[in-house]
Amino acid sequence: MSQTTAYWLWVIALTLALLYPAGKLIWVISVRRLQRKLQRELTDEEIDGQKGRAYFIAIVVCSVFSMLFNFRLLGGSG
């Protein structure tokens, strides 16, 4: 297995491992922030909308973190 293949496999593995906890954390923070801003309980549709948004953000954040972490871990210069 080449180093490039190993790098991408580890990036995918770390992204998948971090996705659920990071998405959940971002979702909880965003729901609480929106409730505080609107000063009311959110509807189910609003909560689902925040969940979709949170997991999209989590995919981006976890992917970037995973790429940088594995680049450094697997011998990248810097």
- The CA dihedral of 3, 57, 51, 7, to the nearest 10 degrees, is 0
Q: What is the pLDDT of residue 76?
A: 65
pTM: 0.85
How confident is the model over 6-45, as pLDDT tens digits? 899 999 999 999 999 999 999 999 999 999 999 999 999 9
Domain ranges (residues) in the chain = 3-73
How confident is the model over 68-77, as pLDDT tens digits? 999 998 876 4
Q: What is the pLDDT of residue 18?
A: 97
- Pairwise CA distance, residues 42 & 49, whole Å: 10
Three-state secondary-structure class, residue 68: helix
